Structure 1
């Protein structure tokens, strides 16, 4: 599939969603798997835009690439915001899930839900870029 590069702004989220759903359709994912993948990419993209760009007073793009092979659909998303590994945030969110309801902070489960929605999630820091990799098995 063709790559997608969009500005790192909230206005780009609908275009990112269309790209992800198009890739999911091309890979033959069912509606449930397609939705979970779109939700996962949307959550991480939103975090990059809000925390990596807007709150850091930075501007940048999000670059997405979809790859389909015999066994999986992979969506790779790169940005040039400050280093942020969502897996480290996952550990905090998993701790919060185990707290009694009254002690849980409001919100703060987006990364957990995103990563749980795909079969594999990987993070890499490559030079000055974050690379978030979402993998959904086809079989």
Structure 2
């Protein structure tokens, strides 16, 4: 078995049409199970092909040159960028919750453009709120 992770399998229920993910304690449990839709209890499921995760050797982000860091940032892998942020920022005491929020969202695989758009919207809302507050004072 791969580490402590439980095997999971994605299915499409042919009765209710929902996509479902079923988890099993082991590969043996998967083999022995009757795969059932948790929504409608149907056993008429079609297995979907899932993305495969491949473990990469860990990198020492703190020991990277600026060129290597730039390569990670431009590489497009959100999780790798999040790991870089986490490792580089680990030694810096920061009260900036936004930094930690961005790091966590990247580690979860969210795209940087989506995070940037959310932060810009939040900033614009705060500026608008501050202007209204200043105008009423």
Higher strand share: 1
Answer whether TM exceeds 0.5 for this pair.
no
More contact order relative to length (CA 8 Å, sep ≥ 6)? 1
Category of TM-score, reference length = shorter chain:
under 0.3
Q: Normalization by structure 1: what TM-score? A: 0.26
Q: Normalization by structure 2: what TM-score? A: 0.26
